[in-house]
Structure 1
Amino acid sequence: MAGQLVVDLGERTYKIHCGSGLLPETGSYLQALDLATPCLVVSNTTVADLYWPAVEAGLREAGFQPHLALVPDGEEAKSLKVAAGLYNAALDAGIERQAAVIALGGGVVGDVAGFIAATWLRGVPLIQLPTTLLAQVDSSVGGKVAVNHPGGKNLIGAFYQPRVVLADTDALATLPPREIRAGLAEVIKYGVIADADFFAYLEEHLDQALRGDGGVLESLILRCCALKAEVVAGDEREGGRRAILNFGHTVGHAVEAVTGFNTYRHGEAVAMGMVAAARIAVQRGMFSTEETGRLVRLLERAALPVELPILDPAALRAALGHDKKIARGQLRMILPEKLGRVQITPIAVDEIMAAVGPEREAL
């Protein structure tokens, strides 16, 4: 029996289903949404080889006419060039106003497919079928869709909510250990920003999650989605509190940009970014060294990086200067006050550089 959550956004309200065996049932869930029969399924070769046959069979059995469009693996897929190819695929598939674009894959696939759904014919239904832990706990929920620009990650995008999210936990069994660890970075993030008890639960159950315990992973996914749904319902377009979901992302996105989006998994970069934010908060006297130590130890237990590599300072500074959280010329960073609570804080790039550069003090 799948767990279920509701993201309450008025007329854009949708459900998140989490559990075993959901992907073969995709057609049944789409039937309930009364969509047109053509649909465009966006995936990559790795994921499609594993799950496309079951998804296609379920869609056809439910009366849909699915068309598969493959994108490259990794952040390379999140480009305007790839988006242009997907627009052609949507045209060839006959995607009309009530025909769905379906994202079958991890966060990258969800982002680029969501961007296509948001912009094709000014918006067509989006279905999220996340197959990685990171996508199931975070990127498939909340309606942020985007492609990258050479100057920074996710600079070209929109807020566009899915019609339904189906998080099939069976897909996690096929993930490489590195992908599970990267997803756990976003899980840990939720404990820091919104739920100290959840952080303590992670400290107790991390080893089970790393071993792929289905019950623990489903609990983690549902709790993260519930926390994100609550934040998004109160601030859909990031006018205020939703920005806390970017904890770790200011430095994390900059690291990804400077390293060409292909050296680190997103969760690995976020792990480094969370430690950088904690270091800054400690230096400001607003976060304790004890709780910073708990965060670092938990990340290290998940075999996630906690220190930045040596990067070109000018490139890192430039990437920070393109952060999406800049408002009226002022960069804002999410800093922890204590486990379970963070604040949105104006900050100078110089202060961030001092905390992450080679002269930084050890924690």
Structure 2
Amino acid sequence: MSIVDVRTERPYRVRIEHGALAHLPSLVPDAARVGLVHSEQLADAAEKMANHMPGRIIPVPVPDGEAAKNPQVLASCWSRLADAGLTRCDVVIGLGGGATTDLAGFVAASWLRGVGCILLPTTVLAMVDATVGGKTGINLPQGKNLVGAFHEPLGVLADLDFLATLSQRDISSGLAETIKAGFIRDRRILESIQEDPADACDAASDRLAELITRGVVFKAEVVGEDLREATSVEADIGRELLNYGHTLGHAIEIHEHFRLRHGEAVSIGMVFAALLSHRLIGLPEEAVETHISCLRMLGLPVSYADAQWEDLRELMAHDKKSRGTTLRFVGLRELGVPEMITSPDEQVLAECYAQLGRI
């Protein structure tokens, strides 16, 4: 069992253990009504929760995955809460993967100008990334997470029992956000994966539990220093650090209509960021190879050539990480030494993308 304290302006705890859901009643002692936003595939789990909290749970089923993160689904959640009479003293719970918890957090942030929120992540990705840091939001056709709010949860319960139902693809994809922390700061993550990649992807292994915890600790440290993502300059990087691999990764997600998992797109994006870092700020070639080898150990993609560069470049221009017309990337001068890359040469960008397709 691990408990990670997220020390922001509204501190909360992330509890990581098998059976963590048993602690849910202690987080909602005074709420008369609990709006339970859950993915449709978790209807059985939602029903069990309702049985443990009779008369209090208002089920709010939403589509699975990124299909939930749109204005129409958001409005339907509002209507469900309005029909049930959810008040300022009540809470919203998000049960599911990262897309569901992103939506649930925004429902809580926007309902009555903000009510309490508790997040129950059921995937590796949601545990290490989506439910920590208070970012909530939905997508638009023009880009991912363009509409949202900062709204920190009252608490996060990462129940490792949920991982038993995940596919190997989902576990590997979720670990992309943890290995990101390994490239940026925590070398022990890379070492653990290199020691036994199969064990790292075993839903029941202590190694996976440790990797999840290390990913949460990394993100908690970063958001504790910079919750609202102040603009970074050169090596002075705050929360923007978490965007490593995401600038191209988000563009690929949108171009693929989310057929690729988030972690798969970010994996490709991290290799691109490493190639760009090698060209522009001197990341050693061995570090680029470390990216490729570690990601391949987890079965993650490291190459991409299924889109025209011009199309991806246009999508990146609309990304929420841009500042005005300036395109920004988190880069690495060496493993563990990040540095911002701002307004990179367009020809270099295109050449790195061409190289990405040849890996």
The answer to whether TM tops 0.5 is: yes
Deviation at 1:204, TM superposition (A): 1.7
State the Cα distance separating 1:15 from its structure 2 match.
Answer: 0.7
Change (3 A) 1:232 1:352: farther
From 306, 309, 314, give the equivalent of 2:310.
314
Distance 1:95 1:349 in 2: 52
CA shift for structure 1 position 159: 1.1
Deviation at 1:214, TM superposition (A): 3.1
Q: Secondary structure at the match of 2:229?
A: coil
- Which position in structure 2 is the counterpart of 1:330? 326
Q: 1 CA distance for matches of 2:68 and 2:315?
A: 20
Pairing partner for 2:171 from 149, 166, 180: 180
Q: CA deviation at 1:324?
A: 1.3
C-alpha distance in 1, partners of 2:352/2:122?
A: 33
2:120 corresponds to 1:129: yes
Please name the residue that 1:47 is paired with. 42
CA–CA separation in structure 2 for the residues paired with 1:353 and 1:146: 29
Q: Please list every run of 5 or more consecutive structure 1 residues that lacks an aligned counterpart in the other structure.
A: none
Distance 1:359 1:6 in 2: 41
Map 1:72-91 onto structure 2 (within 5 A).
72-91=63-82
Amino acid at match of 2:43: A
Tell me, yes or no, if structure 1 residue 224 matches structure 2 residue 223: no
Pairwise CA distance, 1:341: 2.5
Q: Distance in 2 between matches of 1:326 and 1:248?
A: 14
Q: Is the CA contact (8 Å cut-off) linking 2:276 and 2:349 kept in structure 1?
A: no
CA distance change for structure 1 residues 25 and 200 in 2, over 3 Å: closer, same or farther? same
Q: Which residue of 1 aligns with 2:50?
A: 56
* 2:290 maps to 1:291: no
CA–CA distance in structure 1, aligned partners of residues 21 and 192 of structure 2: 29
Pairwise CA distance, 1:70: 0.9
Counterpart amino acid of residue 3 in structure 1: S
1:340 paired residue number: 336
Describe the SS at the equivalent of 1:227.
Answer: helix
Runs of 4+ in 1 over 6 A off after TM superposition: none
- Residues 133 and 352 from structure 1, CA distance in 2 versus in 1: closer, same or farther, beyond 3 angstroms? farther
Instruction: Tell me the amino acid that sits aligned with residue 28 of structure 1.
Output: S
Q: Partners of 1:351 and 1:206 in 2: how far apart?
A: 36
Alignment partners' CA distance in 2, 1:42 and 1:361: 39
Q: Tell me the CA shift for residue 361 of structure 1.
A: 8.0
Unaligned stretches of 5+ in structure 2?
Answer: 233-237
| 1:205 Cα offset (Å) | 3.7
Q: Distance in 2 between matches of 1:349 and 1:20?
A: 48
Give the partner amino acid of 1:259. E
Aligned position for 1:259 = 256
Per-residue CA deviation, residues 123-160 of structure 1 (Å, 9 max, x unaligned), is: 01111000000000111100110100111100111111
Contact 2:173 2:264 in 1 (8 A): yes
How far 1:347 sits from its partner (Å)?
Answer: 2.6
Task: Give the match for residue 280 of structure 1.
Answer: 276
1:269-312 Cα distance to aligned partner (Å, 9 max, x none) = 00000000001111124211111111111111111110113213
Q: Of 221, 239, 243, which aligns to 1:242?
A: 239
TM-score w.r.t. structure 2 length?
0.93
Give the letter for the 2:140 counterpart.
H
Please give the root-mean-square deviation of Cα atoms over the aligned residues, in Å.
1.8
Structure 1 residues 293 and 118: CA distance shift in structure 2, 3 A: same
Q: 1:351 to 1:143 in 2, by over 3 A?
A: farther
How far is 1:332 from its partner? Answer: 1.2
Q: For the structure 1 residues 359 and 337, does the alpha-carbon distance in structure 2 shift closer, same or farther, using more than 3 Å as the test?
A: closer
Q: Alignment partner for residue 68 of structure 1, among 40, 55, 59?
A: 59
Which residue matches 1:36? 31
TM-score, with length taken from structure 1: 0.92
Residues 1:182 and 1:355: Cα distance change in structure 2 (over 3 Å): farther
- Residues 207-238 of structure 1, C-alpha deviation per residue, up to 9 Å, x if partnerless? 21212243112211211111111110110000
Aligned partner letter, 1:18? I
Provide Cα deviations, 1:238-285, integer angstroms capped at 9, x if missing partner: 004100101110000000111222x10000000000000001111124
Q: Which amino acid aligns with 2:181?
A: Y
Counterpart for residue 198 of structure 2: 207
Q: Match of 1:232, as an amino acid?
A: V
Question: Matches of 2:186 and 2:300 in 1, distance apart?
Answer: 21
Counterpart in the other structure of 1:354 = 350
Q: Name the CA shift for 1:260/1:360 in 2 (closer, same or farther; >3 Å).
A: closer
Identity of aligned residues (%): 38
